Amino acid sequence: MPANNEKEIVFAAVIATVIFFILLAFSITYFLIYRRKRKEHETELTMFKDQFNQQLLQSRIEVQEQTFQQIGKELHDNVGQLLSTSRMLIGLTERELQTPPDTLLTANATLGQAINEIRSLAKSLDKEWLEQFSFTENIQTLVERINAGKRIAAEYIQTTDLSLKNDEQIILFRIVQEAIQNAVKHAGATNMRIQVTQEGQQFNITVSDNGNGFDVNSVAKSMGLTNMQHRVELLMGTMFINSIPGKGTTIAIQLPLKQNEQ
């Protein structure tokens, strides 16, 4: 009997050990499956979030395009024609006068410049033009206009090909345009630099000036900066503002390269 008891005890111990290892293996397998499922779920959520952001971006671009087209048509067909007619009448008056006053000549020249600006703006709102939008070309044009005013010396430096889609280039242009306009209108700057570089897997776009600067905390929620931040987020990027009162401002935008490659 003692021998039988020992065998039963050994057999029970073996069974218990086998059951323990089966349970251990099941627990490990369940844990690994749980981790894999959780990772797949997180990946799926991230993918859905990215798709949602892309759909949101596309929807807003489409709405903007429709609005821009309507405004562009109105500027070209209505406002532009009215200005052209007014300039023609001024021209007729000039020819009827032997010595036209300087004010009339200045008015004619100013009106001609306004017509060119209207045509340029109408062109920029055209859908076909938007589909071929170039961030580089439009920033260069903007810099040329600033330099023509001879109040601020602006410089544009680009050391890399900005491989963004056209709709993304439009949004980036609006961001940089807002930063430039803030510097021109409010900073009292005499020098400005816009720079586009690539570092690793990201684009760096900076707009810096030697103007008055400001307290970042006091104006961080202003409408202009809020719009800029929102647009940067639509491009999956980040924006940093470094400004010191009396020592100028630098706005730095970082966009991930892998998210924007064509």
Question: Tokens representing 197?
Answer: 């570089």
Give the domain CATH number at 216: 3.30.565.10
186 and 229 both lie in a single domain: yes
Question: Taking a C-beta distance cutoff of 8 angstroms, is the pair 160, 203 a contact?
Answer: yes
Do 21 and 39 share a domain, yes or no? yes
Contact 249, 242 (CB under 8 A): yes
- What is the model's pLDDT at position 193? 92
What tens digit of pLDDT does each residue of 216-260 get?
776 655 656 788 888 888 888 999 888 888 788 899 999 988 544
| 207 CB burial (10 A radius; 0-12, 13-18, 19+) | buried
The whole-angstrom separation of Cα 178 and Cα 182 is 6
Same domain, yes or no: 107 and 215: no
How do beta strands 202-209 and 249-256 pair?
antiparallel
Structure tokens at 65: 């395009």
Residues in the chain, overall count: 262
Mind listing the pLDDT tens digit for each residue in 104-113?
A: 788 878 887 7
Please report the pLDDT score of residue 64 as a whole number: 67
- From 101, 132, 163, the end of a domain falls on 132
256: left (phi over 0), alpha (psi -120 to 50) or beta: beta
Same domain for 110 and 45, yes or no, is: yes
- 140 and 152, same structural domain? yes
Question: CA 54, CA 135: separation in Å to the nearest integer?
Answer: 20
Q: At which of 83, 98, 132 does a domain end?
A: 132
Which one of 132, 161, 185 terminates a domain?
132
Do 167 and 125 lie in one domain? The reply is no
Residues 1 and 128 in one domain: yes
| Same domain, residue pair 103 and 151 | no
Higher per-residue confidence, 122 vs 100 = 100
Q: Are residues 137 and 247 in the same domain?
A: yes
Q: In terms of DSSP H, where are the helices of the chain? A: 2-74, 80-96, 102-124, 127-131, 135-148, 166-182, 216-219, 223-234, 257-260
Sorting pLDDT into bands at 50, 70 and 90, what band is 130?
Answer: low
Residue 128 has pLDDT above 80, yes or no: no
Domains identified in the chain, total number: 2
Residues 217 and 234 in one domain: yes
CB neighbour burial string for 56-79, b if at least 16 within 10 angstroms, e if fewer: ebeeebeebbeebbeebeebbeeb
Pick from 111, 123, 130: nearest CA to 173: 130
Domain that holds residue 45: 1-132
